[in-house]
A and B are shown apart, each in its own frame.
Chain A
Amino acid sequence: MTVHPSSAAPAGRGSAPLLAGLFVATAVLVAYGFWSLGGLPELASRHGVSIDATITYLFVTTGILFLLGHGVLTLFVLRYAGSAERAAPERGSPHASSKLEWRWALVPVLVMCVIAEGGVLIVGMPAFAQLYGEAPPDSFVVEVVGKQFEWLVHYPGPDGVFGRSEAKLVNDARNPIGLDKKDPAAKDDIYTRGQMHLPVGRGALIRLRALDVLHSFTVPQFRVKQDLIPGFLGRTQFEPTRTGQYELACAELCGLGHYRMRGFITVESQEEVDQWLSEQEPAF
């Protein structure tokens, strides 16, 4: 049922200051919210430039489209609401244009596709390539094993070969990653609880394993987030570009102690990483 207000003063126009006020207030609050968060954590990886560019691109384009869309909506409400004379012609009436309606429905869809999908592909493809493409041949390879509720970091040791590991060999206190001591390659392996050292300016290839449930390897400064799936050897890769300490978080709710599942990443020179590794106890 269509209701045509008979009042001479259209309701839409009377509400205009209120609508405008709400619009401005919302915009100010949103802007304040982003400002108070301080933006993203300071970037510390090479591919992260592309990730940040993608996020910025999406913010700007969707922000403009948001303003544009709501501006047009407000304009139309003010212009066409309130009386039968100004109301847009209904479908089927002699003044309605089906072609025009289709055009105005399809064009925004196509524009959105180009801006959103096309733009993200162009701006974000370098990050995608660096995250999922072939790892640089000289990558520093580390294995990270997630278990409730800690990160275990596994290095291949001087021989550069990861020892065989098996879930049935896991002993929380004595052999938390389930290394097979019968495998000669396992003897010089190194593992730590939550301590990861990476060289700056060199690609890091992280092998990911989960021992129990889903976990997620997340370092906001590296713009990296990758799930660990039990029974599946996953991976992620990035190149740290700044020295310092970073926190490795679990971004997949993995149980009651999820909030405590933290790791500590130190990015330093290759010499310092080598020195640190030489101070660690071998597995067996």
Chain B
Amino acid sequence: MKLVLGTLTLCAFFGSALSPTSPTTSFGPAPASGALVTASPGEVGSVKGKALFQGEAPRRRKVDMGSDPACHALHAEDARDESVIVGEKGELANVFVWVSKGLEGKEFALPTTPAELDQKGCTYVPHVLGMRVGQKLVIKNADPVTHNVHSFAKKNKAFNQSQQGGGKSLEQVFDKEEVLMQVKCDIHGWMSTYVGVVAHPYFAVTKADGAFEIPGLAPGEYTLSAKHEVFGTQKTAITVKVDGVVETAFTFAEE
């Protein structure tokens, strides 16, 4: 229990200390802080690394919004497809990385803040979102047009709701782990996002430089997985030691 509480505290520490400043890594929502300060930083380790793409990077197509002039008018320049974003050195963005094995039976406090998914310029922001089982998901619509938020959940209960432009936010809570759950707009065929729902706070989404970091992991053996919406899933075994940083990399390629 002590270890768990310590892990939670450290995760809260790293979450608050690194998330706003790190340009490259997004962390899972920090657990609620409060009376959980019972462990020292010396009791946990972390894992960090990169997602890379091997081969000729696919061209990022223009997002064609021609079927809805209202969406098209929201962009001064053409929006580009976000499903495969590869950097100059092969860095792959929008990969969901999470601890898929090694945390069974452990419970972690839920974050007090909800996860947020917005619809801006007829695209989903963010393109890949990580959140917790039981955490509230708030879905906003910043656009002046009506969208239709349609989840293609396979393990959780699917939902399909219409949302007026600038209208009331929608709320959802998922009760099962599911990586990745696709959410689409039936009105605008190009709109697609993926939500990774996990039961613990140890997840990250790679940004433009392909990097991720998951801090605050208790020492132990884990399976770390990485999933990309196009290139599939990869797994690796890691051993976390106290104060240690495990470095790893996931390399994806086209089938």
Contacts and interface: CB of A to CB of B under 8 A. Distances in A.
Contacts of B191: 173
B67 A257 contact: no
A150 B189 contact: yes
B interface majority secondary structure = loop
Contacts of B62: 281
A193 B186 contact: no
Interface string B98-120: 00000000000000000000000
B66 interface: yes
Interface stretch (A38-46, A49-57, A228-236, A259-267): A259-267
Interface in B185-208: 186-187, 189-192
B67 A262 contact: yes
Contacts of B186: 148-149, 256-257
A153 B68 CA distance: 14
Contacts of A149: 186-187
B24 interface: no
Contact of B66 (A192, A260, A281): A192
Contacts of B64: 192-193, 195
Contact of A257 (B184, B187, B230): B187
Interface residues of A, number: 21
Nearest to B189: A172
A23 B184 CA distance: 56
B164 interface: no
A257 B148 contact: yes
Interface residues of B, number: 20
A173 B81 contact: yes
A209 interface: no
A193 B187 contact: no
B19 interface: no
Contacts of A192: 64, 66
A173 B66 contact: no
Residue among A147, A173, A262 with max Cβ neighbours from chain B (10 Å): A173
Nearest to B160: A256
Nearest to B83: A174
Given A257-B148, A281-B61, A281-B62, A173 B189 contact: yes
B218 interface: no
Interface in B174-189: 184, 186-187, 189
Nearest to A173: B192
Contacts of A195: 64, 66-67
B192 A172 contact: yes
B67 A194 contact: yes
A264 B184 CA distance: 23
Contact of A193 (B59, B66, B184): B66
Interface string A190-217: 0011110000000000000000000000
Contact of B190 (A147, A148, A172): A172
A176 B189 contact: yes
Given A174-B81, A281-B62, A263 B189 contact: no
B83 A173 contact: yes
9 contacts: A172-B190, A172-B192, A174-B83, A176-B189, A176-B190, A260-B187, A263-B67, A264-B67, A281-B61
5 pairs of A and B residues whose beta carbons are closest in the complex:
A194-B67, A195-B66, A173-B192, A193-B67, A193-B64
